[in-house]
């Protein structure tokens, strides 16, 4: 694509979002038509049953998992309550769980931060290298800087989000799990025919339309659904839209064929948005002055012009499952999957007038096979998963453009050009089982993971013009000296054991121990190309850097008590973990450059509490609290070669204390749900020179349902940050010093969202 021509076609305005307007108008028209038709009918006697009135505890929004591990599942009620309003981000659904820090830059959860850090920390461990988590048990999208699966599934199409903390069972097969294991369960076709149409509006010109239709079960047992949505909003600070006329389309089907059940889910997302500008530390400590600071609307500001800071992605994925039942107790499940992510980031650089275009074209494919059999005292499971991906790991294509005072961009040079000659692959094998022995239940298993790093070729960029990535490779004079890398196999054995002991029907002890695995220092490749001369002068080749990469590992221990009655539950947990070979930016005196290396050793320990109380059948009160101490066990070196005193210091962006408190009242046609969130003070840097204050925010949601003869109309209103607290939410910080400084993102201001939906 000719970027300059594409850019100029935008002119000074924005393309009118005709598709969004048309979709929202159609949804509104369908809503009015359906209501009018039903109003003309004789209503007769309409019985509306409220599942929340069924029994004490039926309003439970977060369900602790069974077994010895620390696991929580947020169901559809919980997603509506905790996730960003009208959003589709699985991270925000777990934001009130103990020990979890998940903060979006906007109120709606649609902002995708450029790079591999998407804003999730669990017990102080930063989830890096892309959208961490699985979908229906498989890593559907790649390791990398794009939005991944976080853009692919709307909130209405998510059935549950499950988070495992600490020791992770062997059958949870994400790429990496030192931060735990997050899995998103999809809402497959419904057995009953029906649908949903809805429109939402909110602050900053937010508008979203959604529709879904389920065929219901046919005489052969088959069923299907189709859904579509469109969403647009202005940024809450600065110019531009985020999201900018995003479109989502999904369809799925399920068909039983005797003992075999087949189902598939296809989803597509087109997403664009302008970036939010981060603050420096001085600005972050004076939010009354700088809270609304953002990229400029003046083209004369060159790289800081807002149109030079945006992203555009086209993502789609296909997930299928084939389940064969040999008998009522034994099942074989095959899960093939494929995803494609294509787009780019435009972003300002520290060089005056320079704008970088990061080209991204990734695909991921794989298959998972599981066989499970139950017997009288327990279950045995075994499985295998294979995943292969084109880039990433490392980025392969960066272009640099020069901005002028009229807002035009002209090509300057290629700043990074590499080719993946052999794909990045993962092989996972696991075996696990459980056995009940009276009051005692034992679990155990083993996972063996082999990560085959990509084989790479780094190309000479001299003299290459503004051409496509494939043309740039063809125009290159060849591979640079020392720039060929043969990918190594990195493997790890990951044992797991857990027990549950029932002291009485209401009280049980839980314990779990296991090893988890984290990412190697994938970002080192960027530094190798950027400082190629320094590495060459020191006699360090790209293959030497590959040899220095190791998988991060952590050994985890959780001890907990579960006390549950018909009217309340209480679950305190003590946890400890040590980690080694963590990827940190570390100074190499032989080269004179700092670059990511697998050298970080440290530990974490703490306590957390999850609680719920159901004083009435229509009322749930819940809360969580956590104390987390996460530190390095040894000092490191600064970029200048001096000792960096980090031993014993709390890791960056890790508060010691966090807590949440809220309630959910749902009675008859009415519902109300306030949630109070508290995040303690933390530091952006490992030397503890840049402190960020604690903060508390209050979110509030309310709804009213109107029964009709053929369905239900629901009106709802959500308020995010009701008291308009000024605070720093996200910090773009690694785990050690950052010579370029740290980037701070203010939390979204008070935001209201009103929605109307009709379910039939």
CA distance 125 to 141: 21
CA distance 524 to 544: 11
**Tokens 């969580």 — which residue?**
624
117 and 519 Cβ atoms separated by less than 8 Å: no
Q: Which two tokens stand for residue 283?
A: 């600005």
Which H/E stretch holds residue 719? Answer: strand 712-720
227 and 249 Cβ atoms separated by less than 8 Å: yes
Task: Report helix, strand or coil for 111.
Answer: coil
Q: Which of 487, 103, 190, 136 is nearest to 321 (CA)?
A: 136
501 and 439 Cβ atoms separated by less than 8 Å: yes
Pairing of strands 751-759, 397-403: unpaired
Number of domains in the chain: 1
Backbone dihedral angles phi then psi of residue 516, each to the nearest 5 degrees: -120, 165
478 and 460 Cβ atoms separated by less than 8 Å: yes
Q: Report the pLDDT value the prediction gives residue 367, as an integer from 0 to 100.
A: 98
Q: Compute how many other C-beta atoms are within 10 angstroms of the C-beta atom of residue 525.
A: 25
Low-confidence stretches of the chain (pLDDT beneath 50): 1-59, 737, 739
634 and 647 Cβ atoms separated by less than 8 Å: yes
Q: Report the pLDDT value the prediction gives residue 60, as an integer from 0 to 100.
A: 64
Q: Which of 183, 164, 187, 172 is nearest to 80 (CA)?
A: 187
CA distance 126 to 583: 11
560 and 574 Cβ atoms separated by less than 8 Å: yes
Q: What is the DSSP letter of 496?
A: E
**Tokens 């060089």 — which residue?**
351
Q: Which two tokens stand for residue 261?
A: 């059940």
Q: Report the pLDDT value the prediction gives residue 392, as an integer from 0 to 100.
A: 62
Q: Compute how many other C-beta atoms are within 10 angstroms of the C-beta atom of residue 286.
A: 12
CA distance 41 to 285: 61
Sign of CA dihedral 590, 591, 592, 597: negative
Q: Which two tokens stand for residue 228?
A: 């579509």
Q: Report the pLDDT value the prediction gives residue 482, as an integer from 0 to 100.
A: 85
pLDDT tens for residues 585-603? 767 777 887 777 777 889 9
Pairing of strands 310-327, 62-64: unpaired
174 and 201 Cβ atoms separated by less than 8 Å: no
Per-residue DSSP letters for 426-479?
Answer: EEEEEEEEEEEETTEEEEEEEEEEEEEPPEEEEE--TT--S--HHHHHHHS--E
Q: Report the pLDDT value the prediction gives residue 527, as an integer from 0 to 100.
A: 80
pLDDT tens for residues 352-401? 999 999 999 999 999 999 999 999 899 999 999 999 998 766 788 999 99
Q: Report the pLDDT value the prediction gives residue 27, as an integer from 0 to 100.
A: 41
Give the Cα-Cα-Cα angle 460, 463, 466 (nearest 5 degrees).
105
164 to each of 98, 182, 278, 717, 737, how far by Cα in Å? 11, 7, 31, 31, 30
Per-residue DSSP letters for 229-294?
Answer: EEEE-B-SSSSSBSS-SEEEEEEEEEEEETTEEEEEEEEEEEEEEEPPPPB-HHHHT-HHHHTT--
Q: Compute how many other C-beta atoms are within 10 angstroms of the C-beta atom of residue 11.
A: 9
Q: Is 712 left (phi over 0), alpha (psi -120 to 50) or beta?
A: beta
699-713 b/e (C-beta count within 10 Å ≥ 16 → b): bbbebebeebeebeb
Q: Give this prediction's pTM.
A: 0.87
Q: Report the pLDDT value the prediction gives residue 547, as an integer from 0 to 100.
A: 81
CA distance 126 to 682: 14
Give the CATH number, domain containing residue 136.
Answer: 2.40.170.20
Q: Report the pLDDT value the prediction gives residue 340, as an integer from 0 to 100.
A: 94
Helix, strand, coil percentages, rounded to 5, for the chain: 10, 50, 35
Q: Which two tokens stand for residue 69?
A: 């591990």
124 to each of 177, 180, 621, how far by Cα in Å? 13, 11, 26
CA distance 523 to 395: 8
Cis peptide, bond prior to residue 392, ω within 30 of zero: yes
Q: Report the pLDDT value the prediction gives residue 8, as an integer from 0 to 100.
A: 39
CA distance 599 to 487: 20
Q: Report the pLDDT value the prediction gives residue 583, as an integer from 0 to 100.
A: 79
Domain coverage including residue 213: 3-759
Q: Report the pLDDT value the prediction gives residue 348, as an integer from 0 to 100.
A: 94
Computed over its alpha carbons, how large is the radius of gyration of the chain? 26
CA distance 559 to 586: 34
Q: Report the pLDDT value the prediction gives residue 310, as an integer from 0 to 100.
A: 96
Q: Report the pLDDT value the prediction gives residue 57, as an integer from 0 to 100.
A: 40
Task: Report helix, strand or coil for 52.
Answer: helix
641 exposure class (CB count in 10 Å sphere: 0-12, 13-18, 19+): exposed
CA distance 58 to 421: 54
CA distance 29 to 502: 56
CA distance 108 to 748: 9
N-term to C-term CA, the chain: 45
Q: Is 388 left (phi over 0), alpha (psi -120 to 50) or beta?
A: beta
Q: What is the DSSP letter of 651?
A: P
**Tokens 């960056």 — which residue?**
652
**Distance between alpha carbon 175 and the CA centroid of its chain, in Å?**
13
335 and 319 Cβ atoms separated by less than 8 Å: yes
Q: Compute how many other C-beta atoms are within 10 angstroms of the C-beta atom of residue 520.
A: 25
Length of the chain equals 760
Q: Report the pLDDT value the prediction gives residue 46, as an integer from 0 to 100.
A: 33
């Amino acid at each position: 694509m000719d970027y300059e021509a594409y850019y100029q076609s935008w002119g000074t305005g924005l393309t009118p979002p005709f598709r969004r307007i048309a979709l929202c108008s159609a949804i509104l028209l369908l809503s009015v038509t359906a209501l009018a038709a039903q109003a003309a009918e004789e209503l007769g006697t309409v019985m509306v049953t409220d599942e929340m009135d069924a029994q004490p505890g039926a309003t439970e929004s977060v369900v602790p998992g069974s077994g010895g591990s620390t696991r929580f599942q947020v169901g559809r009620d919980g997603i509506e309550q905790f996730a960003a309003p009208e959003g589709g981000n699985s991270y925000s659904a777990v934001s009130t769980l103990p020990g979890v820090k998940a903060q979006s830059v906007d109120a709606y959860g649609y902002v995708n931060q450029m790079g591999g850090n998407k804003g999730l920390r669990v017990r102080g461990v930063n989830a890096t290298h892309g959208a961490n988590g699985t979908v229906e048990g498989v890593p559907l999208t790649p390791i990398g800087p794009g939005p991944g699966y976080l853009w692919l599934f709307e909130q209405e199409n998510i059935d549950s989000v499950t988070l495992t903390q600490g020791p992770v069972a062997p059958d949870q097969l994400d790429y990496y799990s030192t931060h735990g294991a997050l899995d998103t369960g999809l809402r497959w076709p419904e057995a009953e025919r029906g649908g949903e149409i809805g429109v939402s509006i909110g602050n900053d010109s937010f508008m979203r339309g959604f529709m879904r239709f389920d065929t219901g079960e046919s005489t052969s047992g088959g069923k299907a659904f189709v859904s579509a949505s469109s969403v647009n909003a202005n940024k809450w600070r600065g110019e531009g839209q985020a999201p900018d006329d995003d479109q989502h389309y999904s369809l799925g089907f399920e068909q039983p064929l005797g003992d075999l059940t087949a189902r598939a889910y296809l989803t597509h997302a087109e997403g664009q948005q302008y970036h939010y500008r981060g603050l420096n530390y001085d600005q972050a400590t004076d939010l009354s002055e700088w809270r609304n600071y953002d990229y400029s609307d003046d083209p004369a500001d060159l790289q800081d012009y807002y149109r030079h800071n945006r992203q555009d992605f086209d993502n789609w994925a296909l997930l299928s499952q084939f389940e064969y039942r040999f008998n009522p107790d034994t099942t074989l499940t095959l899960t093939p999957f494929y995803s494609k992510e294509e787009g780019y980031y435009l972003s300002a650089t520290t060089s005056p007038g320079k704008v970088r275009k990061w080209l991204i074209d990734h695909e991921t494919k794989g298959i998972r096979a599981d066989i499970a059999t139950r017997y009288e005292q327990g279950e045995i499971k075994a499985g295998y998963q294979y995943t292969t991906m084109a880039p990433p790991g490392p980025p392969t294509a960066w272009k640099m453009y020069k901005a002028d005072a009229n807002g035009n961009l002209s090509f300057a040079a290629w700043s990074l050009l590499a080719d993946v000659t052999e794909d990045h692959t993962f092989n996972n094998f696991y075996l696990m089982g459980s056995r009940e022995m009276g009051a005692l239940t034992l679990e155990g298993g083993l996972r063996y993971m082999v990560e085959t790093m990509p084989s790479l070729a780094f190309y000479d960029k001299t003299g290459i013009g503004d051409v496509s990535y494939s043309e740039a490779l063809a125009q290159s004079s060849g591979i640079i000296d020392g720039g060929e890398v043969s990918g190594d196999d990195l493997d790890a054995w990951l044992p797991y054991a857990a027990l549950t002991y029932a002291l009485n029907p209401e009280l049980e002890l839980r314990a779990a121990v296991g090893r988890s695995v984290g990412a190697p220092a994938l970002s080192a490749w960027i530094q190798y190309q950027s400082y190629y001369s320094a590495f060459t002068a020191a006699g360090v080749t790209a293959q030497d850097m590959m040899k220095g990469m190791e998988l991060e590992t952590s050994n985890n221990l959780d001890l907990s008590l579960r006390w549950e009655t018909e009217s309340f539950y209480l679950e305190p947990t003590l946890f400890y973990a040590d980690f080694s070979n963590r990827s940190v930016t570390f100074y190499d005196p032989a080269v004179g450059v700092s670059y990511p290396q697998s050298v970080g050793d440290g530990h974490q320990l703490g306590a957390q509490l999850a609680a719920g109380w159901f004083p009435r059948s229509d009322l749930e009160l819940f809360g969580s609290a956590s104390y987390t101490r996460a530190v390095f066990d040894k000092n490191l070196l600064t970029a200048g070669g001096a000792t960096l005193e980090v031993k014993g210091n709390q890791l960056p962006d890790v508060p010691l204390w966090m807590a949440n408190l809220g309630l959910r009242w749902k009675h008859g046609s009415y519902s109300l749900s306030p949630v109070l969130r508290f995040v303690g003070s933390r530091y952006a840097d490992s030397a503890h020179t840049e402190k960020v204050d604690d903060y508390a925010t209050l979110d509030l949601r309310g709804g009213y349902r109107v029964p009709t003869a053929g369905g239900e109309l629901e009106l709802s209103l959500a308020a995010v940050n009701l008291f308009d607290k000024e605070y720093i939410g996200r910090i773009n910080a690694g785990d050690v010093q950052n010579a370029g400084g740290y980037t701070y993102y203010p939390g979204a201001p008070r935001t209201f969202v009103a929605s109307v939906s009709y379910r039939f």
